[in-house]
Structure 1
Amino acid sequence: MLKQSLQRVFGYAAFRPGQEAVVESVVAGRSAAAIFPTGSGKSLCYQLPALHLPHLTLVVSPLLALMQDQLAFLRRHGIAAASIDSAQSREQVSEVMSKAKAGELKILMISVERLKNERFRHFIAQVPISLLVVDEAHCISEWGHNFRPDYLKLPDYQRQFGIPQVLLLTATATPPVIADMRAKFAIAAEDVVTTGFYRPNLNLLVEPVSGRDKLRRLVDWLSSRSGQPSVVYVTQQKTAEQVAEHLSRHGIAVSAYHAGMPHEKREATQRQFMEGRLNGIVATIAFGMGIDKSDIRNVVHYDLPKSIENYSQEIGRAGRDGQPSDCLVLANRDSLNVLENFVYGDTAERDGIRCVLDELLAAPDGQWELMLNALSEQSNIRQLPLKTLLVQLELRGLIAPRYAYFAEYRFKYLIEPETLVGHFDGERRQFVEAIVQTSARARTWCTVDFDALYRNHRAERSRVVKALDWFQEKGWIELESKQMTEVYSVLRRDFDAEVLSGELHGYFKQHETSEIARIHAMLALFASDHCLSHRLADYFGDHDAPMRCGHCSVCHGLVARLPEPPALPPLEGQDVNALCGDFIQRYQALKAGHPSAECLTRFLCGISVPLFTKLKAKGITGFASLEDYPYAAVRTWVETYSGACS
């Protein structure tokens, strides 16, 4: 039955390694995990079972580009699939929801953040679901390289929505991460299928190149491979633009691709590349997740990747057709500080953590309502580490997530209010009249007053939201919602905020140390004198790769000795007051105190945090003036400056 569907729907004569075992586990009703290298066909492990399961398959995917690419594939093969994402209009979302409710969809793809949406949760609770699929499932593990706090809530969502089984998919899980994933979803060891990470057609090449010679070497490399589909990876958006422009001037047709580009331009660039009308992309890591282009012949890392896991993912986009493909790292230590600064910028300051704890303690009636944007700005903690902090408070039993809602709903009538009310009788009519009467109208839009509805009519918020959704589905109103608010129950207040701030700051510092070590482990891989293919496979627990692959730079006798970055003047010769004086003045005017050593270090190294946006720090003299120096060295130097710490 499964092989018939494989042939009839997908046109494949046989399964790839590992696929059949995963598919059989899922169709038999068991939860499973597929740990396959990039490009080895993980997606089929849910696409095929979805055809044989009675209800909807719900896929949690991390990136919009990944969803769109997989949806296009599914539709080409006649499979009823859709996504709900932030790029869609309200009408498009309503249409997808209606199809899901009517049982017309086999697969629905969403981001994990969608599950915090009050309206979506009301909807999905009404839809029978056979299977929850978690793509990039390593994101659920704090041991993973791309931990996403919201992923920790997926086991609870599985229980809450009564989803009987789960399928985890990832390409970059080390043995500790696999153990963590299994434990969180209670997956039996025999239902975890891991295929080898060794790719015999990928030539792993590490070439030491000084920073000043990289552009020249890149031009030479790509010129000798004219017409071959190639991806050049860089760290920063501005580098993508600069490198793409340089290559174009030298007759190499490429386009930049990064998250800062307009959506339409980014989509058009990706489409041209996928269709073969463009052979070169210079991209940040925003490009490539879920991209199913089989004939990419070259992947070049112009800048160092962020980690071994990122490197593995990115080179995995080459040679999916099994043909020989080259993966080149133009290696030096010039961009090391940039990589490390991403890590340091995500370490929450102790004062910021204390600010969050004080907000928690001040929450009235055992319920804490917060808007992430506002709390991020107030605490000066970036949103991702702030989410991590909230999850840590959950894990310590201090708070429990209840739900998320949009603080503000507004609507405009597409029919007359009297006509809308006229569709109902009895108690329902009174309820709808109350919504109409209490919703303040300003020209076109009416703002819903939930407090007045509850105070005067005992109308529960959830009932009002369901009614508004229903009105929109019927085409009677156009509905908008904004200001996402997260609601937590406060379970305990019997903690010492100062002591806990220290503990949590220690947690973030430990994570910082771990991430910096991850970067240096990658450097050690590139400078290794052992077979690169074997080292890479061993890192992911694959001990079956050959000791010598014969097609990496080490096996060719070329061990990389990474050149050091250009020497910099000693920090001791710098003047803290000259570099930070204007910033300190503006900080004191806003905060009535002295910036911490951490704050000054971030200013000097050009690391963006919420406070700097408010202070317009990028326009202050001295911002990023020491970005070429190691962050840790700058911090040590600033700490010796008397009075740096408030």
Structure 2
Amino acid sequence: MLPAPTDDILHVLRQTWGHSTFRPLQEDIIRAVLAGQDVLALLPTGGGKSICFQVPALARDGLCLVVSPLIALMKDQVENLRKRGIKAEAVYAGMSHQEIDQTLDNCVYGPVKFLYVSPERLLTDMFRARVGKMRVNLLAVDEAHCLSQWGHDFRPPYLRIAELRALLPGVPCMALTATATERVREEIVERLQFSPNYQVFQQSFARPNLSYSVLATEDKLRRLLEVVRGVGVGKTSIVYARTRRQTEETAAYLQQHGLRAAAYHAGLPTEQRTRTQQDWMQNKTHCMVATNAFGMGIDKPDVRLVVHLDAPDNLEAYYQEAGRAGRDEKYAFAVLLDGPNDADELRRRTQQAHPPLDTVRRVYQALANFSRTAVGGGELVAFDFDMQQFAETYRIKALDAHNSLRILAREGYVQMNEAANDPARVFIPINHTDLYRFQVANAQHDQLIKSLLRFHGGELFAGFQRISENSLAQHLKLSVVEVRRMLLFLHRSSIIQYQPRHDSPQALFTTPRFDADKLPLNQKQLNDTREQARLKTESVIGYAAGGRCRQRLLLEYFGETDAAPCQVCDFCLAKKKAKQTALPSPALREQLLTLLRTTPQTPREVLGNFTPGQAVTVTAQLRELVELGELHYAPDGRLEV
């Protein structure tokens, strides 16, 4: 594969995205993969990772296969590419067999440039039979930290990507992530079986324009209000809350104090989530109070403030979420509110997140009963899943159910998908002649078919097209219920393939269902995972405790040990302010020496003779006098001349 000239890739960038230059490292990454090299790209949140695989894919004939674990992110990227006139498809849990079959056919025979695939779909028989027929020019592995058991979001299906590489000989692989420690980076390279001449491109995790702060408080809502007002009432902000209820209560509090705030979480109706997000994107709402999934894949560069009401479980998640502020490279703030009992609460949550083995097996059996899945069946068959209904039906504590399902997902036995807005879709599997004959013989459905063709044209014969049942109903002057009934009739008559609209959370078994007692859970591995989670929790607590530059603490966690202080975090700013105010005067020096000649005192007793505002200056002067030998500590800890 010959590398593309720089002018070619710049032309792709200008023509498709309207940018005249690449961001740092992007061009180097693109040219390396165009030269046929395997590449590990480590770029911070907002660093433009998607451009790194999209540009080389467009600069060459063929299709880019993108592995991504997040359905919502896949859909966003596919939609964004389509808006730019680029053919893109996605295959993920919840799609019907017919729809997957048609999508893969389009990738083999049609002009598709990007195929996004969730990892559990990679090595199904249907996918394996098709992928070798596709003209794949690049394999891109997004969120590559999911390959590592030491990463913060390990996904077992990712481990099988190496098997996929065997089906794509000679195709370069690009792994991308925003958060990876040295150990995780090594594991990514090993798991993906990179060629010996692979390249690693790493942009510093430092964000010079982002000011990190941890604010101790006993009243988080009051402190939040102060922070939001301090940054600017009309500025765009995100507030991360741990629970759905907390998002709603916090948004209501901010609204009561005159701020344009809204709550966002997966439990809201699809229309409300969509409208809420659009209002925030268009600056009709300034403050979005959301659970942590919000913001993934959303391109809004002017976020000036990200606040966490509670610390996430690990620093990878905190760095990624806080990094959604200031993507326009202008000054922005990332604030963590730290309550007096937060460290103990975080440790307790980490302990609860790893329930006993018998509880995990019980939840697995309950999930099989809930979905009516027999032993040996159910692999990759998605079903609607309501956590509250599930927990109540089988009398399991909701927290135990949630944490057990997370363990089962991490071990590769189940997958949980948040509610996603899947609009209705239609495909016409018969030819024009047979369709016309049906219309002549079934006049009552003729107008509906004509309307479908008027709205979507010949594309309906090529693959599944999203339709609006509401628009059809308005056009035909029928109710939505009647339109759906007619579409179902056409589906059962094999005239169309119809996928009704779907927006419920789903679950699925990623392997054939086991007998719960024989589920091969590895106790040692679960113990290792628990210990790993404990260490990550302590890293978060250490970050909150501070004592040093916040950004340096984060960078050292990711292996950057030689970073200079950022000069803009709360610690650096306080240190700078202390230096400016702590300029000891000759008068203060003489005052202290006179005081201690009369009565030797401990440093705390000395400070009692001054106002709180003088504490920093007095402490600095005492330290200097000790260093100069004019004061020394007596055995009882008192300072004397």
Q: With the length of structure 2 as denominator, give the TM-score of the two structures.
A: 0.65
Match of 2:602?
Answer: none
Q: 1:202 maps to which residue?
A: 210
CA distance in 2, matches of 1:30, 1:350: 44
2:544 to 526, 546, 550: 526
Q: Is the 8 A contact 2:413 2:510 kept in 1?
A: no
CA distances 1:234-287 after superposition (whole Å, capped 9, x unpaired): 111111111011111111111111122222322222222222222110011110
Distance (Å, rounded) in 1 between the aligned partners of 2:340 and 2:144:
31
- From 14, 28, 43, give the equivalent of 1:21: 28
1:353–1:77 CA distance, 2 compared to 1 (3 A): closer
Does 1:505 find its partner at 2:534?
no
The alpha carbon displacement at 1:111 in A equals 2.3
Aligned-residue RMSD, C-alpha: 4.2
Quick one: which of 574, 581, 584 aligns to 1:557?
A: 574
Equivalent residue number for residue 322 of structure 2: 315
Task: State the Cα deviation string for residues 500-544 of structure 1 (Å, max 9, x = none).
Answer: 87xx22321221122022112111112121111122112112245
CA contact (8 A) 1:56 1:103 kept: no
Q: Which whole-Å CA distance do the structure 1 matches of 2:180 and 2:548 have between them?
A: 22
Deviation at 1:48, TM superposition (A): 0.2
2:261 paired with 1:220: no
1:192 aligns with 2:200: yes
SS in 2 for 1:318: coil
Equivalent pair of 1:273/1:279 in contact (CA under 8 Å): yes
Q: In the aligned structure 1, how far is the partner of 2:572 from the partner of 2:63?
A: 49
Q: CA deviation at 1:15?
A: 1.7
State whether residues 533 and 549 of structure 1, in contact with CA within 8 Å, keep that contact through their aligned partners in structure 2: yes
| Equivalent in 271, 288, 297 of residue 264 of structure 1 | 271
Taking the aligned partners of 1:310 and 1:2, their CA distance within structure 2 comes to 33
Show the counterpart of 1:115. 122
- Aligned match of 2:146: 139
Q: Secondary structure at the match of 2:137?
A: strand
Provide the rounded CA distance (Å) in 1 between the counterparts of 2:518 and 2:121.
32
- Deviation for aligned residue 1:369: 4.8
Aligned twin of 2:183: 176
Compared with structure 1, are the counterparts of its residues 278 and 98 closer, same or farther at alpha carbon in structure 2 (3 Å cutoff)?
farther
Pair 20,354 (structure 1): closer, same or farther in 2 beyond 3 Å: same
1:116 and 1:472 map into 2 onto residues whose CA distance is 29
Alpha-carbon distance in structure 2 between the residues aligned to 1:241 and 1:288? 17
Q: For 1:370 and 1:345, how far apart are their aligned partners in 2?
A: 29
- Higher deviation after alignment, 50-59 or 237-246: 50-59
Change (3 A) 1:156 1:168: same
**Superposed displacement of residue 480, structure 1:** 8.1
Q: Map of 1:454-469 to 2, 5 A cutoff?
A: none
Following TM superposition, by how much is the alpha carbon of 1:340 offset from its aligned partner in structure 2, in angstroms?
Answer: 4.5
Q: Which residue of 1 aligns with 2:617?
A: none
Cα separation, 1, equivalents of 2:332 and 2:251: 22
SS state at 1:382 partner: helix
CA contact (8 A) 2:206 2:551 kept: yes
Q: Is the 8 A contact 2:550 2:569 kept in 1?
A: yes
Structure 1, 310-319 or 155-164: larger mean CA deviation: 155-164
Q: 1:64 aligns with which of 49, 60, 71?
A: 71
Q: Structure 1 residues 261, 517: closer, same or farther in 2, change over 3 A?
A: same
Give the superposition deviation at 1:350: 3.6
Please tell me whether residue 42 in structure 1 is matched to residue 60 in structure 2. no
* 2:89 and 2:103 in contact (8 A); partners too: yes
State the SS of the aligned residue for 1:550. Answer: coil
Larger radius of gyration: 2
Q: 1:283 to 1:87 in 2, by over 3 A?
A: farther
Q: Deviations over 1:487-507 (max 9, x none)?
A: 6799xxxxx989x87xx2232
2:288 matches 1:281: yes
Normalising by structure 1, we get a TM-score of 0.64
Whether the 8 Å contact between 1:55 and 1:103 is mirrored in structure 2 is: no
Q: Distance in 2 between matches of 1:345 and 1:109?
A: 35
In the alignment of these two chains, the number of paired residues is 472
Q: 1:371 to 1:42 in 2, by over 3 A?
A: closer
1:551-603 Cα shifts (integer Å, max 9, x gaps): 111112279xxxxxxxxxxxxxxxxxxxxxxxxxxxxxxxxxxxxxxxxxxxx
Secondary structure (helix, strand or coil) at the match of 2:122 reads helix
Alignment of 1:353-364 (within 5 A): none
Q: Which moved more, 1:175-184 or 1:92-101?
A: 92-101
- List runs of 5+ in structure 2 lacking aligned partners: 1-7, 366-374, 386-390, 415-426, 436-489, 501-505, 577-641
Measured in 2, the distance between the counterparts of 1:4 and 1:473 equals 48
Which whole-Å CA distance do the structure 1 matches of 2:161 and 2:60 have between them? 21
The alpha-carbon distance between structure 1 residues 474 and 85, as it changes in their structure 2 partners (threshold 3 A), is: farther
Secondary structure, aligned partner of 2:140:
strand
1:306 matches 2:324: no
* Aligned amino acid, residue 30 of structure 1: Q
Q: Deviations over 1:450-502 (max 9, x none)?
A: xxxxxxxxxxxxxxxxxxxxx99996564889996666799xxxxx989x87x
SS in 2 for 1:182: helix
Offset of 1:389 from its aligned partner?
4.0
How many Å separate the matches in 2 of 1:473 and 1:127? 32
User: Residues of 2 paired with 1:271 and 1:534: CA distance?
Assistant: 35
Q: Give runs of aligned pairs for residues 583-602 of structure 1, distance below 5 A.
A: none
1:237 and 1:258 in contact (8 A); partners too: yes
Tell me how far 1:65 sits from its aligned partner: 3.1
Separation of aligned partners in 2, 1:383 and 1:295: 36
Q: Structure 1 unaligned segments of length 5 or more: list them.
A: 359-366, 393-411, 421-470, 491-495, 560-646
String of CA shifts for 1:207-256, please: whole Å, max 9, x gaps: 1111xx11111112212311100000111111111101111111111111
Rounded Cα–Cα distance in structure 2 between residues aligned with 1:539 and 1:483: 34
Find the counterpart in structure 2 of residue 517 from structure 1.
Answer: 535
Which is further off, 522-531 or 102-111?
102-111
**Which residue matches 1:453?**
none
Query: In the alignment, residue 223 of structure 1 is paired with which amino acid?
Result: R
Cα offsets for 1:349-376 (capped at 9, x unmatched): 3446788999xxxxxxxx95566999x9
Matched, 1:383 2:405: yes
Which residue pairs with 1:328 in the alignment?
335
Partner amino acid for 1:43? S
CA distance in 1, matches of 2:56, 2:493: 34
Work out the CA distance in 2 between the residues paired with 1:76 and 1:179: 37
Whether contact under 8 Å (1:349, 1:505) holds in the other structure is no
Matched, 1:10 2:27: no
Q: Partners in 1 of 2:363 and 2:197 — Cα distance? A: 40
1:149 Cα deviation from its structure 2 partner: 1.7
